[in-house]
Structure 1
């Protein structure tokens, strides 16, 4: 059964590198030029893609929540709705960002938080849709986007297995070109809440779908640990400065961290190998100094019947290995031998 997907011509499967999403979200602070700089640095770090978030705030939030006072240190306006609006890019800005991403050669897409945003992103013709954890149970939105025929990436923070199965069953009739991400919707979550083992659970439950990780923890260790479990898409929040204002900044990766993550994910793919145990050329010289051969433990005359006490195991490793010692015990020497002489079959009658 095929477990692969394609986003903007990039194939993602068990035998590929990880598709790395630099999740900018609203870490750009509503500044188009900062966002472009983030595209540049994500590209330089080796990320496969950059991602934003799109909301039609007035229709998505209740009027009470939209007009609610927002007193957070991370606020960009006095009310929550105005705060969210300050962080949104319009159609012209999205088109400019799309052109810029194409110019520098990085895949650009966005999360659609509502029907209007899905239409907005379809009009721009971005190559993929991300579904946030909060919309995993929003089957009308899932179906609406799935019908558009674009690749989809579904986060599963806060979900039960029943919720994930329902989302799969909603999307699968339309496409197999989607991915399910294990996610814990804490910002950041405690280590014991990451549940990386769920990646293996998802792979068993959904054998025809690529599985990944939306990693809200700080640092790069958890995606590295997740690769051997079968993760092939990873989303990490990304910023230029963790000290900037914003709820996501503190646990986001800066450019150095993203560079190391991409580097280490490529290394771990190579390091996994093909599962075949073999000796490599790099091991020959060290083993010459470490492994042992069978030698005679003392001077012995011709005609001597060799005992175990007559044999020893010594370095260098340029003779017969110790596991073959039983072949020589009880054998009769053809001629005299000396201490430390290498044991060879031709020395025996």
Structure 2
């Protein structure tokens, strides 16, 4: 059974705590965030892995970057400051294994994809920034490793192209509805896209990667049917960096996961039946068939001879009304007596 099939077969939502680059380039902060993800109940901690010269052009790296969020004078220097080396990433992977939480990363380019393949991760993430990079997506599909693909900044036709492309190789992948705005205004979240994905792609896992302020839409996504949830996490929303303001601090992450687990319990199995917890209420308030008048033995019951009331002791269930009409009673009964099965020949 492949990774995604297991997710489809369970009632549990798979929660990814996206650390991204909210570690501020500090491996100790990165480890602290991994630990927080574990303590809050997340299933996986995730980073971003980039070979800068593969992802960006020379001019893109050399352009000046003057921003309150900048860690360098150029965009390349800024990104380099936040990028962990292969050795550091393996150190983080080992730490995650020690505390028993999965760890992976978004592959931002072919070299990073190969690195993640070599170190064996549970799945590879393709971020929305590469949702139009069909070359990278196909290379990722060819690895045979499970994929989680975000779909921000593209339309539904492109989503279908991604689905068709990866499906040529396997169906061990997930598509996440995502809006790439940090934060995403509530009026642009468009959770109903999840319904469209679930209908259009019934053989794969569908999830939600949220960038909104708060947790309510994310919890709603689970109720709609998202099997994977991804949210950015941070130690402090006020830290330097463009992702922090729409990330979840530890108490929010814990609250989100607790609410997701509650929603999972509440969703049930879609079988409508009397629940055990309802039985005491039924015994107290459930209505029974009773006689509307006094009747003598041998009387043939008509519709107007019966009423449905709360009775003690209980009689036959009110749903049996039509089955009782037309029967002859075998004893004398009084008004308001419960109708019992032994009263019929």
TM-score range, shorter chain: 0.7 to 0.9
Paired with 2:73 and 2:202, the residues of 1 have a C-alpha distance of: 48
- SS in structure 1 opposite 2:6? strand
**Which 10-residue stretch deviates more, 24-33 or 168-177?**
168-177
Q: How does 1:65-144 map to 2 (within 5 A)?
A: 65-144=60-139
Task: Find the aligned partners of 2:256 and 2:141 in 1 and give their Cα distance.
Answer: 31
Q: Does 1:20 align with 2:15?
A: yes
1:153/1:178 contact within 8 Å kept: yes
User: Which has the higher mean CA deviation after the structures are superposed, 46-55 or 194-203?
Assistant: 194-203
1:5 and 1:13 in contact (8 A); partners too: no
RMSD of aligned residue pairs (Cα, Å): 2.8
Is the 2:297–2:332 Cα contact (8 Å) retained in structure 1? yes
Partner Cα separation in structure 1 for residue 322 and residue 199 of structure 2: 47
1:184 aligns with 2:185: no
TM-score, normalised to structure 1's length? 0.86
Aligned partner (choices 294, 318, 331) of residue 322 of structure 1? 318
Q: Give matches, 1:268-307, under 5 Å.
A: 268-297=263-292
Check conservation: 2:131, 2:153, Cα contact below 8 A.
Answer: no
> Which segment is superposed worse, 175-184 or 21-30?
175-184
Shift of 1:143: 2.3
Measured after TM superposition, the shift of residue 237 of structure 1 is: 1.1
The question of whether the paired residues in 2 share the 8 Å contact of 1:14 and 1:230 is answered with no
- Judged with a 3 Å threshold, the aligned counterparts in structure 2 of structure 1 residues 300 and 245 are, in CA distance, closer, same or farther, namely same
Is the partner of 1:211 in helix, strand or coil? strand
Structure 1 residue 6 and structure 2 residue 3: aligned? Answer: yes
Asked whether the 8 Å contact 2:222–2:260 carries over to 1, the reply is: yes
Aligned to 1:35: 30
2:248 to 249, 253, 256: 253
Is 1:342 aligned with 2:331?
A: no
Offset of 1:32 from its aligned partner?
A: 0.9
**What are the ranges of 5 or more consecutive residues in structure 2 without an aligned counterpart?**
none
The alpha-carbon distance between structure 1 residues 331 and 130, as it changes in their structure 2 partners (threshold 3 A), is closer
CA–CA distance in structure 1, aligned partners of residues 171 and 322 of structure 2: 59
Match of 2:153 in 1: 158
Tell me the alpha carbon deviations over residues 187-246 of structure 1, each in whole angstroms, 9 at most, x when there is no partner. Answer: 222223223232232233333322221122233333333335432122111122223222
**Mapped contact 1:45–1:259 kept (Cα < 8 A):** yes
Q: Give the whole-Å Cα distance in 1 for the aligned partners of 2:301 and 2:164.
A: 73
Cα offset, 1:294, TM superposition: 2.6
User: Is 1:218 paired with 2:213?
Assistant: yes
Q: How does 1:36-51 map to 2 (within 5 A)?
A: 36-51=31-46
2:47 alignment partner, one of 12, 33, 52 = 52
**Separation of aligned partners in 2, 1:119 and 1:63:** 22
TM-score of the pair, normalised by structure 2? 0.87
